[in-house]
Amino acid sequence: MSLTSIPNTPDALSGDLRVGLVGYGLAGSAFHAPLIATTPGLRLEAVVTASAARRAQLHREHPEARAVDTAEALLADPGALDLLVVASPNDTHVPLARAALQAGLPVVVDKPLAATAAEAAALADLADSLGLMLTVFQNRRWDADFRTAQRLIADGSLGTVHRYESRFERWRPEVKAGWRESADPAEAGGILYDLGSHLIDQALHLFGPVEQVYAEVDVRRSGAVADDDAFVALTHTSGVRSHLWMGALSAQLGPRLRVLGDRSAYVTHGLDPQEDALRAGRRPGLGWGEEAQADLGVLGVLDDAAPHPSLPGDYPAFYAGVVHALRDGGPAPVDPRDAVAALAVLEAARRSAAEGRTVTLGTGDTAGSDDTEDEVAA
């Protein structure tokens, strides 16, 4: 993608890039705001939140940032910003990203980029036509365990990989308030889009395009509206099979990652430490993202397997990549076309679960297109 330069304002030329953030819920307050504020070259300029409690929280945590009532008010003066970050509910991602692009602003959008692959592709096309950066906050690409698995696959430590298993599971028997667990799946609510956006992005990033998708998607908890339990099986064109689990009713947690090759295997348990650190108010610095010795994954074969050092988790790399893209014309840290591909798989998964079929994706197809073939699941 060819990107336009940052506007020739004094701040943009000589100082930090001014960032507007839409949303100060979990994503905005615990992930985006602290990462923006600690990234050299960025300044958190304004945050959209109408909540009095969240405004007070913003003032405590980022007193330099001004609070704004609405995204419309923020975008009324696009010249006051150099970048917009969208961390609001999923069904607002597309209209806000489109409005920002049309106002001449590069955009970061929290995952999922859109509810459908077609909407995501239209946004990517718009950004291309305007020469503006559009990228998606797929922070789990910078998890310690995932980075380590990626390196082990690349350097041949596992041999030829044939199966990849990945889980994001929780024990949350009571439904939480909030749009993530109550939003209509048609508006990209539910666990398939919430956690599946990460799991599918990781699988595609490791093993490439997908030919077939099989899924089971359910609502398990009393009072739940959106799906809260899902399994997705992918057959990649490379021949690797990815099995992905996400659930809110997992009283015993399975391995976080299990990567099986013809030479060795890599298995991890537990989650990357960065999310807990950010939610506890800690900020990137010395030792950031390092896993404790007890949490290291295991590499090897049967009784010869042993703990293997992890690469540190590195969520700050995402916004460092944003600065590189905007200042130096480098690539976006996450290509929006990757989000289009992941959403095609998510749509196919929803269709597979609804129809009890394995969905076969043709080359260049998006899930649900007229050329997509279906096969009855074995």
Both 266 and 280 in one domain: the answer is: yes
Nearest to 233 by CA among 353, 141, 371: 353
Both 127 and 159 in one domain: the answer is: no
In a domain, 175, yes or no: yes
Flag whether pLDDT at 228 surpasses 50: yes
Both 161 and 308 in one domain: the answer is: yes
The pLDDT value given to residue 29: 97
Both 90 and 114 in one domain: the answer is: yes
Selected residue with higher pLDDT from 84 and 5: 84
Nearest to 93 by CA among 218, 168, 4, 197: 197
In a domain, 377, yes or no: no
Both 270 and 259 in one domain: the answer is: yes
Structural domain that includes position 38? 10-137+320-330
Q: How many domains does the chain have?
A: 2
In a domain, 2, yes or no: no
Could you tell me the CA-to-CA distances from 338 to 19, 127, 186, 270 in Å, in that order? 24, 14, 21, 26
CA triple 98-101-103, angle to 5 deg: 110
Cis? peptide before 78, omega within 30° of 0: no
In a domain, 348, yes or no: no
CATH number, domain containing residue 269: 3.30.360.10
Both 266 and 325 in one domain: the answer is: no
CA triple 18-45-315, angle to 5 deg: 75
Selected residue with higher pLDDT from 109 and 184: 109
pLDDT digits (tens, 9 = 90+) for 10-44: 344 458 999 999 999 999 999 999 999 999 999 99
pLDDT digits (tens, 9 = 90+) for 38-83: 999 999 999 999 999 999 999 999 999 999 999 999 999 999 999 9
Q: For the chain, what is the mean pLDDT?
A: 91
Flag whether pLDDT at 176 surpasses 70: yes
% of the chain exceeding 70 in pLDDT: 89
CATH number, domain containing residue 57: 3.40.50.720
Both 123 and 166 in one domain: the answer is: no
Both 162 and 291 in one domain: the answer is: yes
Both 177 and 48 in one domain: the answer is: no
Both 54 and 119 in one domain: the answer is: yes
298 in Cβ contact with 305 (< 8 Å): yes
In a domain, 374, yes or no: no
Q: What is the pTM of this model?
A: 0.90
Question: For the residues 279-303, what does the mean pLDDT come to?
Answer: 96
